[in-house]
């Protein structure tokens, strides 16, 4: 396995105002910090496909060669659900966008495009509390009682992803569908979606912090279910934040291997090694970075977290004999 830096951390999405880097500088930062590869976050202000014309793509590809960096994944944040009005077409625009990302990946020499089935943000549909057992997308009605609202959403995402998987296959690209709410809320859902679509180019992006449980036996079992299907993985850690009495009030991103990290990384990586996964482990920062003094962090904060993550994970990979990168 190799260690990659996801450029999302330098896009300014989660840091103080003005604390961001252009894509090329983020790629250079990956090499400077000692990563094997850099993944391109395919949104503004970083790697939005229409901002990277053929000339800039050639220069970026050359930059990877100059830096001795592997080309990582093209990473998309997507939502393939239809809008609540017949004349609003977000799903069609998402399909067009991902096709452009697939083309960009092909031009850059990347083999993987990461997608999500649906994403409203922070792990829960805003109307999830207004229905019954299934994830609800509208207030109580007979449709909610029968789960028709959720079933419609599932099929909307499935149809779009199937279309894109066929296109990706024609271009020699693998789509890595990351298990992530709101549609693929667990790994059973993701496996079911892959089975229903049945296109070989569609694989799974499996992230340890997004598993249903971090109990070591469950982690091992889940990874082994992904043999032959796992194509990508992010390596941020999540810890639960608790209120008085121990109730979960939210999540906080922490650096792998840090004092606050609750995740069994050695168990996860050993299981990945056992199933023959030899792809990327991509460090990311994808939620607000709040530092001491209750301030938003800077690009230097991102650097520090990426350096700590790299050192810890490289150490674990070397311990289990699974590091295949070229960096010292």
Residue 146 lies in a domain: no
Q: How far is CA 276 from CA 215, 224, 253, 279, in A?
A: 22, 10, 28, 9
104: domain CATH number is 3.20.20.150
Domain that residue 45 falls in:
2-125+167-319
For the segment 135-143, the average pLDDT, to the nearest whole number, is: 74
Pairing of β 295-296 and β 290-291: antiparallel
Q: What percent of the chain is modeled with pLDDT above 70?
A: 95
Helices first, then strands: H and E counts in the chain: 9, 12
230-232 vs 174-178, strand pairing mode: unpaired
The answer to whether residue 132 is domain-embedded is no
Number of domains in the chain: 1
Is 324 among the domain residues? no
Neighbours of 294 (CB within 10 A): 6
Please state, rounded to an integer, the average pLDDT across all residues of the chain: 93
Q: 179-205, pLDDT tens digit by residue?
A: 988 889 899 999 999 999 999 999 999
Residue 127 contacts residue 138 (beta carbons within 8 Å): yes
How far is residue 274's CA from residue 128's CA, in Å, rounded to a whole number? 37
Q: pLDDT band at 209, cuts 50/70/90?
A: very high
Angstrom distances, CA of residue 172 to CA of 70, 71, 326: 18, 15, 25
Is there a domain that residue 27 lies in?
Answer: yes
Q: What is the pTM of this model?
A: 0.94
Confidence of residue 64 (pLDDT cuts 50, 70, 90): very high
Q: Rounded distance, CA 163 to CA 166, Å?
A: 5
- Domain assignment of residue 212, yes or no: yes
Query: Of 206, 311, 198, 298, which Cα lies nearest the Cα of 257?
Result: 311
pLDDT, tens digit, for every residue of 307-317?
A: 999 999 999 99
């Amino acid at each position: 396995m190799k260690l990659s830096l996801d450029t999302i951390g330098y896009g300014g999405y989660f840091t103080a105002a003005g604390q961001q880097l252009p894509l090329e500088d983020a790629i250079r930062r990956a090499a400077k910090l000692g990563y094997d590869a850099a993944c391109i976050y395919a949104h503004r202000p970083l790697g939005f496909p229409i901002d990277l014309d053929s000339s800039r793509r050639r220069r970026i590809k050359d930059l990877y060669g100059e830096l001795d960096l592997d080309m990582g994944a093209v990473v998309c944040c997507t939502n393939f659900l239809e809008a609540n009005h017949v004349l609003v077409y977000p799903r069609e625009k998402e399909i067009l966008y991902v096709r452009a990302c697939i083309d960009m990946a092909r031009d850059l020499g990347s083999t993987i495009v990461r997608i999500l089935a649906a994403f409203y943000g922070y792990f829960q549909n805003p109307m999830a509390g207004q229905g019954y057992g299934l994830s609800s997308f509208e207030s109580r009605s007979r449709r909610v009682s029968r789960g028709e609202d959720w079933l419609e959403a599932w099929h909307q995402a499935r149809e779009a992803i199937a279309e894109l998987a066929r296109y990706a296959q024609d271009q020699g690209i693998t789509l890595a569908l990351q298990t992530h709410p709101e549609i693929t809320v667990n790994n059973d859902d993701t496996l079911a979606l892959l089975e229903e679509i049945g296109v070989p180019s569609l694989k799974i992006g499996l992230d340890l912090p997004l598993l249903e449980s971090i109990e070591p036996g469950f982690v091992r079992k889940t990874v082994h279910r992904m043999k032959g299907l796992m194509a990508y993985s992010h390596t941020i850690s999540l810890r639960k934040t608790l209120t008085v009495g121990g109730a979960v009030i939210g999540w906080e991103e922490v650096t792998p291997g840090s004092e606050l990290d609750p995740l069994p990384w050695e168990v996860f990586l050993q299981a990945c090694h056992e199933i023959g996964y030899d792809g990327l482990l991509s460090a990311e920062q994808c939620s607000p970075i709040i530092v001491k003094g209750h301030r938003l962090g800077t690009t230097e904060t991102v650097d520090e977290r990426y350096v700590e993550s790299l050192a810890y994970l490289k150490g674990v990979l070397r311990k289990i004999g699974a590091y295949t990168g070229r960096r010292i």
